[in-house]
């Protein structure tokens, strides 16, 4: 399956691997492996199985054993992966290019779309890892559910997002160079305002929220070059760090 983008039809073929489908496939394979383990263990499960774990990581709710109650986490995980994969496949059509965009900006937009799709694949794999962890705890008699997958996934989310978009911006610049395309002075100045392709840093812009970069979705992002923007961004990092620390303490 390939991601279709109408803009790409006007450009020469752009080389480079597209990794989202690898992550989506890995997520589905993990779900499949858990399903096989569940099928093997199903007959030996008790008449009531855990369906919820409390803050102490021990099961506090039980339901009668059935295909639905035992395998529901895997069904939910599969639905999430399929939905994210569908979104990744139609991102190009959902995020139309700006009118009269140059070829250089069109390649930059495709690069951001590729990065967004890759991040979706990573998020899907992370969600499936957490879901599979809960499923395995359930079929093994409702043992204490470890929190380390959620803690590690939460800790890696922001660094991975920055890395993915940096790689996407790098890919876009390389493909533009392959085609002999160069940005105009205005385009080069605008490109320089995006740190790692994802963080907008413009101290001269008084706006705290600015439109998302083309190919990254709709909505706004924070201008980390503004003092208030820095404060908000730092606060978000502190909150996320506190959440990760609390998960680590719970799992210890």
Local confidence band at 137 (pLDDT 50, 70, 90 cut-offs): confident
Which of the residue ranges 47-56, 141-150, 208-217 has the most confident prediction, judged by mean pLDDT? 208-217
Q: Phi and psi at residue 199, in whole multiples of 5°? A: -100, 120
pLDDT given for residue 14 in this prediction: 47
CA R_g for the chain? 22
* Cα 39 to Cα 28: distance, rounded to the nearest angstrom: 16
70 vs 142 pLDDT, higher one:
70
Q: Where are the domains of the chain?
A: 20-184
If one compares 84 and 55, the residue with the highest pLDDT of the two is 84
* pLDDT higher than threshold 70 for residue 220: yes
**Mean pLDDT of the residues in the chain:** 82
Dist CA 20 CA 86 (whole Å): 11
Res 236: pLDDT: 86
Task: Write b or e for each residue in 219-238: b if 16 or more Cβ atoms lie within 10 A of its Cβ, otherwise e.
Answer: eebbbbbbeebbebbeeeee
| pLDDT at residue 252, as a whole number | 56
pLDDT tens readout for residues 96-115: 777 778 888 888 888 888 88
CA-CA distance, 53 to 142, in Å (whole number)? 9
Percentage of the chain surpassing pLDDT 90? 22
Handedness of CA 153, 155, 158, 164 (dihedral sign): negative
The length of the chain, given as a count of residues: 252
Check residues 156 and 37 and name the one with the higher pLDDT. Answer: 37
The pTM of this model reads: 0.80
Please answer whether residues 60 and 48 qualify as being in contact, where contact means their C-beta atoms are separated by less than 8 angstroms. no
Name the residue among 132, 106, 162 with its Cα closest to residue 27: 132
Residue carrying structure tokens 């109650």: 69
Q: Which pLDDT score is estimated for 136? A: 87
pLDDT at 156: 80
* Tens digits of residue pLDDT in 178-217: 888 888 898 899 888 888 878 899 999 999 988 888 777 6
Q: Is the pLDDT of residue 4 over 80?
A: no
* d(C-alpha 222, C-alpha 193), whole Å: 12
Ranking 12-21, 201-210, 217-226 by mean pLDDT, the lowest is 12-21
């Amino acid at each position: 399956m390939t991601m279709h983008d109408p803009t790409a039809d006007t450009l020469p073929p752009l080389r480079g691997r597209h990794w989202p489908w690898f992550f989506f496939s890995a997520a589905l394979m993990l779900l499949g492996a858990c399903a096989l383990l569940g099928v093997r263990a199903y007959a030996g499960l008790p008449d009531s199985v855990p369906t919820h774990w409390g803050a102490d990581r021990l099961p506090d709710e039980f339901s009668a054993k059935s295909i639905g109650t035992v395998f529901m986490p895997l069904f939910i995980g599969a639905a999430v992966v399929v939905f994210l994969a569908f979104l990744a496949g139609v991102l190009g059509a959902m995020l139309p290019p700006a009118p009269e965009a140059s070829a250089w900006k069109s390649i930059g937009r495709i690069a951001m779309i590729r990065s967004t799709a890759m991040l979706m694949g990573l998020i899907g794999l992370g969600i499936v890892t957490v879901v599979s962890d809960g499923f395995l705890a359930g079929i093994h008699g409702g043992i204490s559910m470890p929190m380390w997958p959620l803690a590690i996934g939460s800790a890696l989310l922001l660094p991975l997002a920055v890395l993915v978009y940096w790689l996407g911006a790098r890919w876009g610049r390389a493909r533009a160079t392959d085609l002999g395309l160069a940005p105009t002075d205005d385009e080069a100045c605008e490109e320089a305002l995006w740190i790692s392709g994802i963080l907008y840093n413009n101290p001269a812009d008084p706006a705290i929220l600015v439109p998302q970069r083309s190919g990254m979705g709709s909505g706004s992002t924070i201008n980390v070059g503004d003092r208030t923007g820095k404060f908000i961004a730092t606060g978000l990092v502190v909150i996320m760090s506190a959440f990760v620390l609390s998960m680590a303490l719970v799992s210890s």
